[in-house]
Structure 1
Amino acid sequence: MLDTLDYRVFGDGNFTQGNVNRSLLVLRAEVTLGGPVLSIATNPRFSYGKQNGELAERDTYVDLFVDVFKKRKTYVFGLATVEISNLRGIDLRQLAGAGVGYRVLQTDRNTLTLTNAIIHESTDFTERPTIVTQRNSFRVKGNHAFLREKIRFSHVTFVQPSLRDFSNLRWNTLLSLELPLTNWIAIRTSFANTYESEVEATRKHHDSHLTFGVSLGKLK
């Protein structure tokens, strides 16, 4: 039975003018349905950006996590994601898998969770052939509050090597710093970094974004 609902929405952006005209808008959400046995969470995001009038980013990412006995120190989960990325030339990426999570720290002001899963992944690139592989997906996720919750810091990092070829590696990190204005509104800045060893010939392996914006929703 699912008896609780938590949600937040985020709007971040970065705009520059001059020798380089660049605009980037990132919309995110966090939605969690919780119960005594099951917890269902999704963290969708959409990014849209232009540089010197040319489309650079129009990326969509949707995930789904189903956790079993999430309130225990050790729990199991299943996950699935769908991704489309103009930035990296990905027409469609799909993955699904299952794994185990371990709650290292759980207090009112600090949480830290480690998870490890085995996933099946298929990536349809715009130009190069489709890559199908199995990966190990290791995640570190944490939320921390300081100075009587006047400053909040959250982070999530995935490291995903292919089980067939360890040189086929993906990772991504998202760091967010928030200054709450009320229980429902906060100003924030985020830094995102992504690396993929297998990319289109015209794409770089690294992507990084620094954005500023606001969040709406009940602070956990």
Structure 2
Amino acid sequence: MRFVVLLFLLFSLNISAQLKDKDSVRFKTDLSLTGFWQGGNVETLIFRAAGNVDYSPSKDLRFRSQNSYVLQEFGRVKADEDILSLNFLNINPQKRLHPLALAFFSTNFRRQIDYRYIVGGGLSFKFLDKKKSKLNMSLTGEYEHTEFQTTDFKIDDYDGFTAINTWRSTLWLQGEYQLFENKMVLKHEFYFQPSLQDSDNFRWRGDLSLEFPIWDFLNFKINYYRTYESLVVVNQLQEDEFLTFGFTIKNYK
């Protein structure tokens, strides 16, 4: 499975290499590989791959796809394996306030989630839209379906169900800033996602990274990633966090 996911993440870079120069502004891709490895008495591996696609077929449409894969092993025993795909279609993105549609797919080995999909839409507002500084806030509504491998949860009200459906609302905050004469790039993405039906069912995620350009198409990357989910299976913590180091390859300057 991990090799299939990595091939999928690399696929976007292969496509971009075949595009003409005039198309490169409309089609942007990048691939980040970060992680941590320790050998010796307890072999530890934490690996994260993230591939992004940003394509604007016209000035009225913009498609963005953010795909990530996380693997953790301790003593060569798999502790976690996650897939997350966030896909957005922005309509009239040149306007300060514009609508968007979204579709998500995810899996989570440790939290025993076979799969989860989310579909919805909302509005996005651009606080900053400069070449070196971008800040967007979005408010969306979604329908969510999750298939679990178990029926035993930390919140007893959900016991007995493997499939859980709910309507959600999500507040997003995304930003990117080129600092110190483009010697450092700060990126952040945060969202809070409560259920509109059950107040005890909510989650949030924060993703913060610093990138330091090495060449035009290669950056050194430090990534801090933290998630919280209130509805988890028994014997599992609700919060996870990762600090990883690696590189970002991209097809744009």
TM-score tier after normalising by the smaller chain length: over 0.9
CA distance in 2, matches of 1:131, 1:165: 12
RMSD: 1.3
| 5+ long unaligned stretches in structure 1 | none
**Alpha-carbon offset, residue 53 of structure 1:** 2.3
Q: Quick one: which of 63, 73, 95 aligns to 2:96?
A: 73
**Alpha-carbon offset, residue 18 of structure 1:** 4.9
CA distance in 1, matches of 2:116, 2:173: 22
Per the alignment, residue 26 of structure 1 pairs with: 48
Q: What pairs with 1:136-151 in structure 2 (closer than 5 Å)?
A: 136-151=169-184
**Alpha-carbon offset, residue 46 of structure 1:** 1.2
| 5+ long unaligned stretches in structure 2 | 1-22, 152-160
In the alignment, residue 141 of structure 2 is paired with which amino acid? Answer: I
State TM-score, norm by structure 1.
Answer: 0.95
Cα deviation digits, residues 13-47 of structure 1 (max 9, x gap): 11124564320111111101112100011011111
In the alignment, residue 50 of structure 2 is paired with which amino acid? Answer: R
The number of aligned residues is 218
When you count strand as a share of all residues, which structure comes out higher?
1
Which 4+ stretches in 1 moved above 2 angstroms? 16-21
Cα contact 2:28–2:252 (8 A) shared by 1:
no
When you count helix as a share of all residues, which structure comes out higher?
2
**Alpha-carbon offset, residue 119 of structure 1:** 0.4
| Higher Rg | 2
Per the alignment, residue 47 of structure 1 pairs with: 70
Cα deviation digits, residues 145-190 of structure 1 (max 9, x gap): 1110101100001100000122211001110100001121000110
CA distance in 2, matches of 1:162, 1:124: 16
The alignment partner of 1:181 has SS state of: strand
In the alignment, residue 170 of structure 1 is paired with which amino acid? Answer: R
**Alpha-carbon offset, residue 63 of structure 1:** 2.2
| Identity, % of aligned positions | 24
The alignment partner of 2:210 has SS state of: strand
1:192 aligns with 2:243: no
